[in-house]
Amino acid sequence: MKIAVIGTGNVGKAIGGSLVRAGHQVTFAARDADKTKQVASEVGASAAVSAADAARDADVIILAVPYTAAEQVAAELDGQAAGKVVIDATNPIKADYSGLATESGGSGAERFAQLLGGALVAKAFNTLLAGLQADPTTHGTRLDVLYATDDPAARAAVIDLASSIGLRPVSVGPLAAARELEALAWLNIRLQMIAGGDWRSTFVLIGAPAGATAA
Ligand X SMILES: NC(=O)c1ccc[n+]([C@@H]2O[C@H](COP(=O)([O-])OP(=O)(O)OC[C@H]3O[C@@H](n4cnc5c(N)ncnc54)[C@H](OP(=O)(O)O)[C@@H]3O)[C@@H](O)[C@H]2O)c1
Residues within the interface to ligand X (CB under 6 A)? 6-12, 30-32, 35, 51, 64-67, 69, 72-73, 76, 89-91, 93, 126, 129-130
Report the alpha-carbon distance of residue 197 to residue 212 in Å, rounded. Answer: 30
- Closest separation in Å from C-beta 65 to ligand X: 4
25-29: strand order across its sheet: 46-47, 25-29, 2-6, 60-63, 85-88, 120-123, 144-149, 168-171
- Closest separation in Å from C-beta 12 to ligand X: 6
- Closest separation in Å from C-beta 90 to ligand X: 3
- Closest separation in Å from C-beta 210 to ligand X: 27
Report the alpha-carbon distance of residue 206 to residue 139 in Å, rounded. Answer: 15
- Residue whose CB is less far from ligand X, 34 or 207: 34
Contact 119, 113 (CB under 8 A): yes
- Residue whose CB is less far from ligand X, 112 or 214: 112
- Residue whose CB is less far from ligand X, 61 or 73: 73
Contact 203, 58 (CB under 8 A): no
- Residue whose CB is less far from ligand X, 5 or 210: 5
- Angle (deg, nearest 10), helices 10-21 and 33-43: 30
